[in-house]
Structure 1
Amino acid sequence: MNIQTIVTLFDWRSLIDIPILSFIVFLFYTTLRSSGSWRIGLGIIVALLFYLVARFIRLPGVEWIFNNVSNIALIALIVIFQPEIRKIFERAASAFKVKKLLKESSGFINEITKAAFVLAGRRWGAIIVIPGKDDVANKINGGIIINAEISVPLIMSIFDPHSPGHDGAILVENGKIVGFGYRLPLSSSEKLDYQFGTRHHASLGLSEMCDALIITVSEERGTVSIFHSGSYMQVDNEEKLESEIKSHLQNLSFLFPVSSKQRSRSIRLAEAFLSLVVGCCIWLAIAINASQVIHRTYTIPLQYNLPSKMVIIGEKPQTVRISVSGSASEIESIQPYELKAFIDLTNTSPGEHLVNLQQKNFNVPDGVHITDIEPPQIKLVLHTMEQRDIEIKPQLVGSLPPGYEITSIDVSPSKIPILYTTDLENPENIYLTTTPIYINTIQQSVKLSTKIVAPQGVYPLDSTNWPDVTVMIYIHQK
C-alpha cells in the first residue's frame, strides 16, 4: 500500500463519508468523556493507528491478526460499550424532539435554589434530580409519586432528617416534583475523593448514565454541588445555581452531552479536529480493507439466445466456471444465484460455430474482473428448423387377453405442430409416438394419459416441453 494507492481511494463520496464518520466519533467521544470510559476509546484509537501503519509498511503478521479478529472485536466492543451506545441512541432519538419549556420557569427555579441553600445552612442532606433529554425512569429505583407544586416548605419537609424519605432523591420535571425517595445508582469511577459520602457517589453515578442535572447538598460540610455528565462542581451562591439550572433547561434539545464545567473554545476546537482525524483514519481503514483484491470461483448456468426456427444439435454445455477478482466490497456484493452466462446467437447462421466466452457474456458487477473461464470456447452446431403438423401414434405393447379386441383408439390431440431440422431424411414420414402402453391385462375400455416420444431432430413448436396426450382405448368382448 503506497501513497498513490491511498490517493486513488478518495472521490467525491469521501467528502460526505468522512464528515459523517467524524461526527459519529465526536458524539461517541463526548459520551465516553462524560461516562469516564475515554481511556478505553483511546486504546481503540491507538490500535486503529497501529493497524494503518502495519498496512502501510506491509507487516503481514500484524495484518493477518487484525483481519481475522476484527469481526470478533466488533462484537466485543458492542458488548463493552453497550451503555454508551444506548446513551447515544437515546440522545439521537430525542435530539429533534421539541420539548416544551416552561414559560415561567423562574418561579420553580427560584424555589429550588432557595431550598438548596436553606438545606445547606441547616446541614440537611438532599438530592434534587432535574432530567435532561435522557430518560431517567429506567436508571432510578423506588420513589413515591406526588406530582406536587415546587415550594421551599415542601422540599424542606421531604429532606427533614425525621422524614422517612429524606435519604432518597426528589425528581423534578415540567415544573413539578414528580416524586421523592428515589434511589440512584452508585458510581464505580474514582473521580471523587474518599471524604465524599454515598449521596455524592450516587449523584455522580446517575450523571454518568444520563444527562440529568443533580443538585446535591452535603450534610457533613453544608455545601451545595451539582453533578452533570460525569463531572461535578461546588456552587457557592444562589445566583450561580440558578444560572446552571437555566443553562441546563436551555440545552435540553442539544445532541451532545453538556458538561457543567465550561470548556474553552480552543479545547472544543481541538476535540473536533481530533475527531476529524480519527474519522479520516477509520474511513481509511475501511477503504483500504474494502479495496483489498480477493479472488472467488463460481459455477454458473449458461443460457442460449437462438434465432427463430433454429436449434443447437449435439453437445450443448449447461454450465460454465469462472474465476473473478475485485475489491472485497465488490466481491461480497455478488449473489451467486444471480450470476448467469449468456450466449447471443440471434444473428448467427446455420452451421458449426466456435464461440469465445468473454466478460461481456456474464452479468458480473462493474469493478469485478473475470480472470479465467472454463471452458473458454464452446463449439456449437446450429440447424435451421421447418414446421409442420404431424400425427401422434399410440405405442401399444403386448396383446389383449383372449376373448377381447380393440374396436377403436382415440388420441387427443391427434396431431400437433412441430419443428424439425432440415437435415432429417424423409421428413414427410416422421411421426410422434406415445410412451409405451401395455395392454396385456386390459379387459375394458380405458382412458390413459401419456407422454410424447419424439425422434431425434424433432422439437415442440411453442415450448421446451411436449404436451400430455390422452389415449382412449375402446375394448369389446368377442
Structure 2
Amino acid sequence: MIRNSIDILQDFLINVRIADVVDVALISVFLYLILNWLRQSASRQSIIGIVSLFALYVMARFSEMYLTELLIEGLFAVILIGIVVVFQSDIRRLFERIGNWSIFWKNSHAPFDNRTTNIITEAVAKMAENKTGALLVLKGKENIDRHIHGGIPLEGKISIPLLHSIFNPKAPGHDGAVILEGERIIRFGAHLPLSTKLEKLSGGGTRHAAALGLAEQCDALVVVVSEERGSISIARDGTLQRLESVNQLKGILNEFWETRYETKESPLTSWWQSRDLRTAAASVILAVIFWFAFAYQSETVYRTFSVPIEYRNLQSSNLVLQDSIPLEARLTLSGSDQAFRLFDQSQLVVSFNLTNYSRGEELVITESNVNLPSDLSLYEVSPRSLKVRAQRLKEYTIPIEIPTRGTLPGRLSLISIKPERDSMNVFAVDSTRQVPRSLLTEPVDLSSIEASTELPRNLVIPENIRLPDTTSRQIGVAIKVKAKEN
C-alpha cells in the first residue's frame, strides 16, 4: 500500500506543471476576492442558491446523472444573465476594488490629523445633545462620486462652527450629507442612495436609510445623528450600528483613519497583519478542489497522429534526395488528457538536419527529431527508421548560351550578343550523364530591339541541376547593333 501511495505521488509530481501551480494561484486570488465580496454582499441568500445549484451540477457530473447534468447545462446561460442582473452593483463594486487594489504601494489620500477626529466627535456630540439631524460621509479608498447626487461644492477646512451652520435646521442644505475627505469638506447638501434593507434600520428614518445605502455600495464610513432620538449611529461595510457613547465614536474614527489613511505598510503587509487567513485558506482549498475536479487527469492517454517529415539543409550539404522519400510518419504520443487539450497538432513536425548526413545512413525518428511539448512523450513511431537515397553533388562549370527569336528591324544589323559572364558554376549528381553542355537563358526577342542595350534574362535550370545558394538565376545580356549602310 505504501508502494502504491509512492507511485501515485510520483505520478502526480510528473503530471503537475509550473503552469498548473500558477493556475491554482490565480484561481485562489479570484476566489479570495469573491469570498470577501460574499461576506459583505446584501444578496447572500441568492448566492447560496446558485452555489447549491453548482454543487448539484458537480454531483450529477461525477455520478453520471446525464439528464440532470444536461438540464443544468442548458440553464447556465439563463443563470449567468440572472447573476449579472441581480448582482450588477456588487459586480461593479468588485471590479472597482480590483482597479483600486495595489499590492506593493499604498494609495495617497488627503492629509489629516487628530484634530479632525476631535472636531467631528465634539460637533456630533453637541448635535446629538440638541437633537439636530446630521449625516457625515468619510471617504475611504473607493470612489464614491457615482453614488452621490446633487450637493454644493465647498472645499473648505472642517471646523465645529462650519458643521453646526451646515446642519442648522434653517439652513437649506441641512437635510443632505456632508462629504469629508481628510480634513476638508468637499461637498454638502449631497443626496445618498437609500437602502432597501429596512430590517437593518432598527427604527431609523431616511438619514439612516441613506447612510446604510452608501455603506452597502462602497467602503465609506457614514456618521448619523437622529433628530428624533438624539442617538449616534455609524454605517460601514453594509451594516448600521448604534453607538453607546461619544468615546466609542472617537475610537471608530481613529480606527477608520488608521486603516484608510495612516497605514505605512503596503496592502500586502496590511493583509498579512489583518490575519484574514481563514478566507485565504478556504480560497486555496477550493481552487485545489476545482483543479482536481476539472483539470487534473492522472491516467495516461495515447493518441496517434500523422506527422509531416521535413529534410533541412540539403543544399548546404550538397545532397540531393532521389526517388520517393517518406513524407509522413505515424506518431503515437502519451500524456495526460489535459496536456492533449493544450496541444496544437498543426505545429507537430518530424525534422532531420542533413548537414552532416553520410550516404547510406539510416534516419531514425526519436524525440530529439520531434518538437514535442514537455508534458507529452513519444510512445511509438511507424516507421521508426527511414532509408533515404541521397547522392552527393559535384560542381561543374557550364558555358552560358543565349537563344534568340525573331529578326532585327531591316535598318539594323547585329554586332554581338553576349551574357555578362561566359559560364556558370552549378551542382549536379556525381554519377549523372545528363549534365547539359550549356545553360540557356530565356530567349531574346530581336524584333523588339531598336538600339544597343542590355537586358536582364533568367537562366533556364534543368531539374537535375542546382545553382549555389548565393547565385542568382538572373544575368545581364549585352546586345550591340548598328545601322546598315545604304
Q: Structures share a fold, TM > 0.5?
A: yes
Question: Are residue 251 (structure 1) and residue 262 (structure 2) matched?
Answer: no
TM-score when normalising by structure 1: 0.79
C-alpha offsets along residues 15-51 of structure 1, whole Å, 9 cap, x if unaligned? Answer: 7765664454233222232232334544454455445
Provide the C-alpha distance between the structure 2 equivalents of 1:304 and 1:401, rounded to a whole number of angstroms.
51
**1:154-173 equivalence runs, <5 A:** 154-173=162-181
TM-score when normalising by structure 2: 0.78
* Partner secondary structure for residue 121 of structure 2: helix
Aligned to 2:464: 457
Provide the C-alpha distance between the structure 1 equivalents of 2:76 and 2:306, rounded to a whole number of angstroms.
27
Provide the C-alpha distance between the structure 2 equivalents of 1:162 and 1:219, rounded to a whole number of angstroms.
14
How far residue 303 of structure 1 moved from its aligned partner, in angstroms, is: 3.6
**2:455/2:476 contact within 8 Å kept:** yes
Aligned to 2:350: 341
Provide the C-alpha distance between the structure 2 equivalents of 1:45 and 1:168, rounded to a whole number of angstroms.
40
Aligned to 1:237: 245
Provide the C-alpha distance between the structure 1 equivalents of 2:383 and 2:475, rounded to a whole number of angstroms.
40
Q: 2:98 aligns with which of 62, 84, 89?
A: 89
C-alpha offsets along residues 257-286 of structure 1, whole Å, 9 cap, x if unaligned? Answer: x9xxxxxx9xx7765554443233234345
Change in Cα spacing, 1:46 to 1:184, as seen in structure 2 (3 Å) is same
**2:398/2:424 contact within 8 Å kept:** yes
Aligned to 1:149: 157
Change in Cα spacing, 1:403 to 1:318, as seen in structure 2 (3 Å) is farther
Change in Cα spacing, 1:217 to 1:285, as seen in structure 2 (3 Å) is farther
Change in Cα spacing, 1:322 to 1:240, as seen in structure 2 (3 Å) is same
**1:294/1:331 contact within 8 Å kept:** no
Q: 2:322 aligns with which of 299, 313, 317?
A: 313
* Partner secondary structure for residue 202 of structure 1: helix
Question: Are residue 430 (structure 1) and residue 437 (structure 2) matched?
Answer: yes
Instruction: Work out the number of aligned pairs and report it.
Output: 464
**1:49/1:281 contact within 8 Å kept:** no
Question: Are residue 475 (structure 1) and residue 466 (structure 2) matched?
Answer: no
Question: Are residue 395 (structure 1) and residue 407 (structure 2) matched?
Answer: no
Provide the C-alpha distance between the structure 1 equivalents of 2:256 and 2:206, rounded to a whole number of angstroms.
24
Provide the C-alpha distance between the structure 1 equivalents of 2:305 and 2:93, rounded to a whole number of angstroms.
42
Provide the C-alpha distance between the structure 2 equivalents of 1:460 and 1:418, rounded to a whole number of angstroms.
5
Q: 1:447 aligns with which of 429, 454, 462?
A: 454
Between stretches 124-133 and 19-28, larger displacement belongs to: 19-28
Please tell me the residue identity of whatever aligns with 2:91. Answer: Q
**2:401/2:439 contact within 8 Å kept:** yes
How far residue 89 of structure 1 moved from its aligned partner, in angstroms, is: 1.0
How far residue 138 of structure 1 moved from its aligned partner, in angstroms, is: 3.6
How far residue 343 of structure 1 moved from its aligned partner, in angstroms, is: 1.6
* Partner secondary structure for residue 477 of structure 2: strand
Please tell me the residue identity of whatever aligns with 2:132. Answer: W
C-alpha offsets along residues 41-73 of structure 1, whole Å, 9 cap, x if unaligned? Answer: 444544554455455445566777889998998
Question: Are residue 125 (structure 1) and residue 107 (structure 2) matched?
Answer: no
Provide the C-alpha distance between the structure 2 equivalents of 1:208 and 1:419, rounded to a whole number of angstroms.
83
Please tell me the residue identity of whatever aligns with 2:354. Answer: L
How far residue 233 of structure 1 moved from its aligned partner, in angstroms, is: 0.6
**2:139/2:219 contact within 8 Å kept:** yes
Change in Cα spacing, 1:453 to 1:273, as seen in structure 2 (3 Å) is closer
Q: 5+ residue gaps in structure 1?
A: 259-264
**1:35/1:209 contact within 8 Å kept:** no
Q: 5+ residue gaps in structure 2?
A: none
Provide the C-alpha distance between the structure 2 equivalents of 1:25 and 1:474, rounded to a whole number of angstroms.
84
How far residue 103 of structure 1 moved from its aligned partner, in angstroms, is: 7.2
How far residue 407 of structure 1 moved from its aligned partner, in angstroms, is: 1.6
How far residue 301 of structure 1 moved from its aligned partner, in angstroms, is: 7.1
Q: 1:282 aligns with which of 280, 285, 290?
A: 290
**1:72-221 equivalence runs, <5 A:** 80=88, 82-93=91-102, 96-97=105-106, 104-105=113-114, 107-189=115-197, 191-193=199-201, 195-221=203-229
Change in Cα spacing, 1:467 to 1:289, as seen in structure 2 (3 Å) is same
Aligned to 1:38: 44
